[in-house]
């Protein structure tokens, strides 16, 4: 027997939020599978041990800072502070692009140290790090593109009304890719 409270409408999740959560679940499964394969492969005798480039540490700080600016942009739009929102969303997009640049330079640093990422000279350790991180970078790139679209629209718009749902969905995704990088970074340094 179910009872309903008169006058209360059950709250449903917004369809865009639902789709985002389903997509993030699939991404989690993909990275869980990749990091599990990494652990299994690591037990082979030919596994090459190497330190991550220092630029990956800097990129971690950048992506953490971008999570803060994303939070501030969502808070600003909720409070109706459009100028603050415009600034924070633009800074978040810039930090996301900087994260990608630092990751790219980190891989160039590995190659400069004669650690081949792909090809006949490569070791499966470097290839795993490259493929897993590259997939993460592609997800971040998608977020950066969305952030740039939001930033351009915000800075071009003369009206002071912005919908909160799209920025909330984008914020959820951005915090997700940030947390995913933290997981990967910790995995590479202490688990993997």
Query: Does any domain span residue 73?
Result: yes
Instruction: Specify the pTM.
Output: 0.86
Query: Does any domain span residue 2?
Result: no
Query: Does any domain span residue 27?
Result: no
Query: Does any domain span residue 127?
Result: yes
Strand, helix or coil for residue 14: coil
pLDDT digits (tens, 9 = 90+) for 125-156: 889 999 999 999 999 999 999 999 999 988 88
Find, among 139, 143, 58, 132, the residue nearest to 96 by Cα: 143
Find, among 6, 153, 9, 154, the residue nearest to 84 by Cα: 154
Structure-block tokens of residue 126: 């470097």
Query: Does any domain span residue 185?
Result: yes
CATH code where residue 87 lies: 1.20.120.80
pLDDT digits (tens, 9 = 90+) for 72-104: 999 999 998 989 999 999 999 999 999 999 999
């Amino acid at each position: 027997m179910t009872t309903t409270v008169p006058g209360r409408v059950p709250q449903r999740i917004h369809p865009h939020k639902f789709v985002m959560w389903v997509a993030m679940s699939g991404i989690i499964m993909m990275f869980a599978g990749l990091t599990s394969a990494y652990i299994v492969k690591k037990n082979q005798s030919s596994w090459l041990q190497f330190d991550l480039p220092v630029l990956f540490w800097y990129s971690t700080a950048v992506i953490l800072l971008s999570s803060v600016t994303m939070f501030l942009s969502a808070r600003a739009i909720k409070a109706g502070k459009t100028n603050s929102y415009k600034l924070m969303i633009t800074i978040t997009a810039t930090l996301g692009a900087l994260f990608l640049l630092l990751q790219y330079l980190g891989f160039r640093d590995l190659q400069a140290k004669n650690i081949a990422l792909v090809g006949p000279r490569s070791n499966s350790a470097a290839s795993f790090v490259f493929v897993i991180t590259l997939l993460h970078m592609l997800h971040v790139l998608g977020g950066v593109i969305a952030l740039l679209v939001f930033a351009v629209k915000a800075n071009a718009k003369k009206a002071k009304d912005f919908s909160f749902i799209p920025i909330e969905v984008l914020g959820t995704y951005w915090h997700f890719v940030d947390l995913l990088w933290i997981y990967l970074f910790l995995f590479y340094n202490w688990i993997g």
